[in-house]
Structure 1
Amino acid sequence: MIIKSFSIDYEKLFNNYKVILIYGENYYLKNEIVEKLNNIYKKNNYKNTFIKQDELLNKIDILDNYLNQDSLFGEKEILIIKDTSDKLLNYIDLENLDNKLIIISESLQKNSKLRSIAEKHKLISCIPCYDDDEKTLQSLLRHGINSLGLKVSNETIDQLFSINKLNRSDINSGLTKLQLISKDNILDNGILSSLFNTTSSFDAFQISDILLSCNKKELKKILSSFYHFSFNFNEVLGPLKYKIKRLISIYEFDKEEKSISSLLTKYKPPIFWKEKSSVQTQMSMWNVDQLNTLLDKINHIEILCKENYEVSETIFNKFLLDIITKKVLINTYSSH
């Protein structure tokens, strides 16, 4: 049975379901759900055992002992299996299981047998955990602050998100600290900025996508994250060149095709469905000649940063801004 992640009744989840499947790409949300479930099981005197699927299947006696345990007279135990896949179904009959079980998976496709069973069976709960967008995270923060009886303006929250790549864990951690230190009903920007700090950096491929999409708002977060996380210009330029070369390859796949949408449909090997929207945006921002120019400018900036390593961070950050504004197409980059 499908259960929405934002409307979970944890007591009901414990009482009504033998098996709980938690899957999806949202690592922080999955951890949050498991932690809250753990508290419920502990309150009901269950001992928990975490184990990865591969490890479990290599030590099949652990699974056999768990499935054959006598919960009436022995110690109550909940097995939490991580990194699960359809392969688990070769060893466990979920639909006829007497024991309680929590299963954690990465993204599961619609044709996944594990997902299909969990979605359809009345005694198995299926909780998809999709990535949080900024609107969801802002709502989570507002709700948390309001629940503490505190007040903060929408403008302050917007400002907080404009310079930080906050995730669900950052917000929950900040709210816990806020609960301990806040005595006033009004919060100033300084307190919020000190409590709600990002712990997740952008990876180089995310940065490349943001640059090629000319997303000024996200660039602010990137530059802010550089203060929290060490980044070398070489770490970004490699993936950025890869992304640009792929866009050029798409354009050259069918030079007669003028429709970007049709070109993306024709292109081989197929573009992963999650990337299509981003790639289409990037191609709407850059034509093939501009991409070749950009590639050439990247080679120049790479040399410039290496020759002026002491100030390479300043040079590189300015270059990122030039890409976003497309001034990179007319600016020159050399030591002389």
Structure 2
Amino acid sequence: MISKFYEIEKLKSKTNYFLFYGENEGQKQDVIQANFSQFTKKNTYKYTEKDIIDNKQVFFENIYSKSFFENEKLILISDVSDKILNLIEEVITSNINDVVIILIAKRLDKKSKLRNYFEKEKMALIVPFYEDTPQTLLSIAKKILFENKINLSSENINLIIERSQGDRINLKNELQKIINLSQNNKKLELEDILKLTNLSENYSAGELVDNCLSKNKKRTLNILNENIPSSEDNILIVRTFLNKLKRLRKLRLNLKENNNVDQVINSFKPPIFWKDKNIIKQQIKIWELKDIENFIVDLNNTESLIKKNPQISNQIINNMILDKVENTNIQI
């Protein structure tokens, strides 16, 4: 059964089985928090698909066992794919009443067996999560700032949104920095915003990503050598790649209808800043649509690896960047 995210509240009484898919991880988190807040940390269990496939017995024991102190359980399973379909079919068929299961996936194409099953199954709910628009991010930013009684100019708000790379998780992290600083009763100026929203004390994630996508190997290596990112910074780098590649993908698709690169860039929504137009034009020449889509898949895998192995996140991100900066053929 297909649903929109804003319909979950009225439909969740009809099912205990949900599939959330799409790239908007921040919105998924917001929806889970808003609609399943009755579950505490003690009765919420988190798995990855690999965890369950590697040890099905432990998973089934958790589902079928019931503690005297637990009324219901919330089970979150991330990074799911078609591999988990048979197991989930078995669980849904058993019709357990006191367990809510939410499967969380990245992209699922129309041929996905898991997606097709949830779309047709009356006992389950599938919800797509699309990327946020600039208007949505602006609304989120204004709401958070209003709740914290912080007054920022439109210029400063737009700067924060731009530096969050279209990701509401990044946006909320940047706004939290603003909130923390404002507690000192300091009036925030543009200079403060610029300092706060940089990637630690290193080069910005955007500069690293742009040089990699532009095949500027020397500059990319210099940035990698001088940066000392944390695992959180590396997640930000991955998401910056994702957002810039999604934009490149849309531009590439638009070029099929209009072969004039300048017109495609100038008419793109949201508008591309003038200072970015030349580098984007260069990236369009370098990256074919197929290469972009393959890179996006690789990034999803890289993010999962970083989350599972934060202690070697720098090695993981560096290996991925070096592979990409060296191996894509330039089409000029």
Q: Normalising by the residue count of structure 2, what TM-score does the alignment of the two structures yield?
A: 0.53
Aligned to 1:149: 149
2:44 aligned partner:
48
In 1: Cα distance, 2:80 partner to 2:278 partner: 44
Q: Pairwise mapping of residues 71-86 of structure 1 onto structure 2 (< 5 A)?
A: 76-86=72-82
Distance in 2 between residues matched to 1:168 and 1:134, nearest whole Å: 10
Q: Which runs of 5+ in 1 are unaligned?
A: 213-221, 232-271, 287-319, 327-336
The aligned counterpart of 1:293 is none
- Number of the residue aligned with 1:188: 189
* 2:280 matches 1:284: no
Aligned residue for 2:4?
4
How many percent of aligned residue pairs carry the same amino acid?
22
- Looking at structure 1, the residues matched to 164 and 66 of structure 2 have their Cα atoms a distance apart, in angstroms, of 50
Distance 1:205 1:51, change over 3 A: same
Residue 76 of structure 1 deviates from its aligned partner by 4.4
CA distance in 2 between partners of 1:13 and 1:24 (Å) = 20
Deviation, 1:171, is: 1.8
CA distance in 2, matches of 1:205, 1:282: 26
Give the aligned length.
237
C-alpha distance 163-33 of structure 1, shift in aligned 2 (>3 A)? closer
Aligned residue for 1:91, secondary structure, equals helix
After superposition, what is the alpha-carbon deviation per residue over 1:240-283, rounded to whole angstroms, capped at 9, x for unaligned?
Answer: xxxxxxxxxxxxxxxxxxxxxxxxxxxxxxxx986742664996
Measure how far apart 1:154 and its partner are.
Answer: 2.2
Among candidates 201, 207, 230, match of residue 205 of structure 2 = 201
Cα distance, 1:170–1:205 mapped onto 2, change above 3 Å: closer
- Preserved contact between residue 18 and residue 101 of structure 2 (Cα < 8 Å): yes
Q: Name stretches of at least 5 consecutive residues in structure 2 with no aligned partner.
A: 229-247, 263-275, 283-332
Matches within 5 A, 1:40-119: 40-42=38-40, 46-70=42-66, 76-93=72-89, 95-96=92-93, 97-98=95-96, 99-119=99-119
Find the aligned partners of 1:128 and 1:206 in 2 and give their Cα distance. Answer: 29
The 1-side partners of 2:4 and 2:212 are apart by 33
Q: CA deviation at 1:103?
A: 0.8
Q: Structure 2 vs 1, CA of residues 120 and 324 (structure 1 numbering), >3 Å: closer, same or farther?
A: closer
Q: Which residue of 1 aligns with 2:328?
A: none
In the aligned structure 1, how far is the partner of 2:72 from the partner of 2:63? 12
* In structure 1, C-alpha distance between the alignment counterparts of 2:62 and 2:84, rounded to whole Å: 15
- Give how far 1:100 is off: 1.5
Amino acid in the other structure paired with 1:92: I
1: CA distance between counterparts of 2:142 and 2:120? 35
Instruction: Indicate which of 10, 16, 19 corresponds to 1:18.
Output: 16
CA RMSD of aligned residues (A): 4.7
Structure 1 residues 39 and 185, CA gap change in structure 2 (3 angstroms): farther
Q: CA deviation at 1:48?
A: 2.3
The 3 A distance-change label for structure 1 pair 75 and 173 is same
Q: How does 1:243-254 map to 2 (within 5 A)?
A: none
Q: Give the deviation of 1:181 after TM superposition.
A: 4.8
- How do residues 100-249 of structure 1 correspond to structure 2 at under 5 angstroms? 100-121=100-121, 123-161=123-161, 165=165, 167-182=167-182, 187-197=188-198, 201-202=205-206, 230=227
Cα displacement (A) at 1:50: 1.9
